[in-house]
Amino acid sequence: MKSLPVKNLIRKPGRTAALMLLTAFLALAVFGGSLVVLSLRQGLNSLEARLGADIIVVPSEAQSKVSFQNMFLQGTTGAFYMDAENLKRVREIEGVEKAAPQIFLASLKADCCSVKIQVIGFDPQADFTVQPWIAQSYARELGEMDVVVGCKVEAGVGEILRIYDQRCKVVGRLAATGTGLDTAVYCNLDTIRLLLQAAEEKGVSHKVTSDSAADQVSAIYVKVKVGYDVGRVNTAIQGHTRKASAVRTRSMITDVSDSLAGISRTVTGLIGAVWVLAFLILLIAFAMIIRERRREFAVLRLAGMSRRMLSGLILRETALCSLLGGVLGVCAAALLAFPFATLIETALGLPYLTPDLRTVALLAAAAVAAAGIVGSLASAGAAWRLSRVDPGTILREGA
Amino acid sequence: MKKRVFAWLTLALALVMAVGSVTFLGACVHEDGSFGTCHWASRALLGIGILLAAQSGIALATGHAGAYLCMAFTAALGLLLPGTLIRLCGMATMHCRAVMQPAMTLLNAGILILALAGFLLETRRAKRGTP
């Protein structure tokens, strides 16, 4: 008797497959949708952690072109420069705890790939944003022509990357951040200045405004002292720097957070709509199937099966079918969400970082359980009603 | 049709692979109009797709277990092509890495599983002596 639900499911493969597909659709919507929303949240947290500064000072042109924000979010290349004098001025402002420069360079088509790559030069002595991140994968100091690559640049440790015909040795690969920073290459200031020079020699002008690349920086990352108002320090920086804009990282994160909230609402709405629709379809489908099988159940009742046993049989059958469908749906969602994570990230244009395995496993288990519960609930009413009807009446109806 | 369900499915996937490798699942042309190795990987996948479609056709017509086995080996080769045997672009955000590689891996893995299932089914049928 225990194997009867399984036998029933095998006996009618078409019906079982149709019900499984319905619940698979439910699980796919829940698991896939939640995974995307979770990955976006994780990406936002990662962006917050990676920015690490309270204020970022960039040339006015970078701010107006929105190229700076796109560099972080979508990994687009950007090269803009301002007078390094601004760094000294920022450091002199009251309330500034640390100020670290970075120099950006957009490579030509690098030999590793067919796209431009962003090269970011930082000062290891002053830096407090990139260095802690790099230290996770490369503990030593970066030497001349040593580079560390983001996780989306396919170059292994020890490989040589040719940037503007200069041989740069890859000494480390960074952990994923889910942001545009994953497509960048990092080096120290000496290396980036050599690369800038090489670019100029190759006739690629990066519109460096001074005669010497040493007098230029692309961005200044500022950490505000505890107890000082970030807004006031930001205003002071705006007043003391030339041809530069100070951007509060909080406002950048708020912009991303707003976009994420919009996407979360849409995804949640879609999941809700799919669930309501699928639940209604399941309700109708189970009612029809149980009605169609009334004579079969009546025979079982006459064979000595109690009402409770009959309801249990129907519930076990639907729960099994729904759980299998749930597993199918989760697998289908995983097959789409994981291999195409980069495509999803690019399409959304927002930081996207897949959660760890434990979270994914919990999410998958919850989606399968939800599909099983919904399937069982949808059939519970029809099963209860059927168990109340007199089997003799059912059999006489068909006579 | 029911008897050769695995061959029909592999035929459908092989056709998606062949058409996709030169259209929506293929590698992009670089900004300067040049071709990278990923372009040749997509061309090789076109060949694998056509070969798999032909093998599916043979499996459909004859139901021979050997046709399924050939298909499994070809799909395994298809699995290794993008990224392992032929290097793709170095940036994970490029179309060949973000779309072509995962899509072709899924298609080849699907064909491999279906072909093995078809092989087992046809071998069992041959042992039983049922056509």
The DSSP output letter for A356 is: P
A–B CB contacts, 8 A cutoff, strictly below: 60
Shared-domain flag, residues A220 and A301: no
Question: Which residue among A109, A114, A342 sits closest to B92, beta carbon to beta carbon?
Answer: A342
Shared-domain flag, residues A315 and A358: yes
CA A27 – CA A327 distance, rounded (Å): 8
Question: Which of A8-22, A105-119, A216-230 is modeled with the greatest confidence?
Answer: A216-230
Instruction: Identify the three-state secondary structure at position A96.
Output: strand
Give CA separation, B70 vs A90, A183, B12, B20, in Å.
69, 40, 17, 22
Query: Is the CB of A115 less than 8 angstroms away from the CB of B89?
Result: yes
| Nearest chain B residue to A117, by CA | B91
Question: Which residue among B34, B89, B103 sits closest to A113, beta carbon to beta carbon?
Answer: B89
Residues in chain A: 399
Whether A134 has a pLDDT exceeding 60, the answer reads yes
Give CA separation, A335 vs A1, A60, A140, A331, in Å.
37, 44, 39, 6
* Single residue among A222, A247, A272 that ends a domain in this structure: A247
Residue A245 contacts residue A237 (beta carbons within 8 Å): no
Give CA separation, B63 vs B112, B129, B131, in Å.
17, 13, 8
Query: Which residues is A173 bridged to in the sheet?
Result: A149
Q: In A225-293, where does DSSP find H-type helix? A: 230-240, 249-292
Type of residue at A389: V
- Residue A99's pLDDT band, with cuts at 50, 70 and 90, is very high
Query: Is the CB of A154 less than 8 angstroms away from the CB of B91?
Result: yes
Query: Which residues is A167 bridged to in the sheet?
Result: A162
Cα torsion A254, A255, A260, A265 to 10°: value is 90
Predicted-complex ipTM score? 0.85
Model pLDDT for residues B69-94, shown as the tens digit of each residue: 999 999 999 999 998 999 888 888 88
- Pairing of β A96-109 and β A166-173: unpaired
Query: Is the CB of A112 less than 8 angstroms away from the CB of B105?
Result: no
pTM above 0.95, yes or no: no
pLDDT score for B22? 92
Residue A233 contacts residue A55 (beta carbons within 8 Å): yes
Distance to chain A for B86, nearest Cα, Å: 14
Q: Please check whether residue A183 touches B, CB under 8 A.
A: yes
- Pairing of β A219-224 and β A96-109: antiparallel
Q: Between A296 and A194, where is the model more confident?
A: A194
* Single residue among A247, A267, A282 that ends a domain in this structure: A247
Question: Which residue among B94, B105, B106 sits closest to A115, beta carbon to beta carbon?
Answer: B94
Question: Which residue among A114, A154, A335 sits closest to B106, beta carbon to beta carbon?
Answer: A335
Type of residue at A3: S
Residues of B in contact with A339 (CB under 8 A): 102-103, 105-106
Model pLDDT for residues A315-348, shown as the tens digit of each residue: 888 888 899 999 999 999 999 999 999 999 888 8
Shared-domain flag, residues A79 and A205: yes
| Nearest chain A residue to B101, by CA | A339
The residue segments making up the domain with residue A187 are: 50-247
The DSSP output letter for A243 is: S
Q: Please check whether residue A209 touches B, CB under 8 A.
A: no
Shared-domain flag, residues A243 and A207: yes
Distance to chain A for B65, nearest Cα, Å: 25
Shared-domain flag, residues A82 and A219: yes
Residue B67 contacts residue B58 (beta carbons within 8 Å): yes
Instruction: Identify the three-state secondary structure at position A222.
Output: strand
Q: Please check whether residue A110 touches B, CB under 8 A.
A: yes
CA A379 – CA A319 distance, rounded (Å): 9
Q: Please check whether residue A321 touches B, CB under 8 A.
A: no
Shared-domain flag, residues A54 and A18: no
Q: Please check whether residue B5 touches A, CB under 8 A.
A: no
Model pLDDT for residues B94-128, shown as the tens digit of each residue: 889 999 999 999 999 999 999 999 999 999 988 88
CA atoms within 13 A on the CB side of A256: 24
Domains in chain A, number: 2
Torsion over CA: A151, A155, A160, A165 (sign): negative
Shared-domain flag, residues A170 and A301: no
The lowest-confidence range among A257-261, A394-398, B120-124 is A394-398
Name residues 134-163 of chain A within 8 A of B (Cβ).
151-155
Residue B104 contacts residue B25 (beta carbons within 8 Å): yes
pLDDT score for A116? 75
Whether A107 has a pLDDT exceeding 90, the answer reads no
Shared-domain flag, residues A350 and A288: yes
Shared-domain flag, residues A342 and A220: no
CA A309 – CA A157 distance, rounded (Å): 64
Phi, psi of A204 (to 5 degrees): -95, 105
CA A126 – CA B88 distance, rounded (Å): 37
Q: Which helix (H) or strand (E) holds A245?
A: strand A244-248
Across the beta sheet with A146-149, what order do the strands follow? A160-163, A166-173, A146-149, A184-188, A116-122, A96-109, A219-224, A55-59, A244-248
Among residues A395, A220, A203, A181, which one has the least CA distance to residue A299? A395
Cα torsion A233, A235, A236, A238 to 10°: value is 120
Residues of B in contact with A113 (CB under 8 A): 89-91, 94
* Single residue among A193, A225, A247 that ends a domain in this structure: A247
Shared-domain flag, residues A68 and A175: yes
Shared-domain flag, residues A10 and A72: no
- Residue B25's pLDDT band, with cuts at 50, 70 and 90, is very high
Shared-domain flag, residues A41 and A55: no
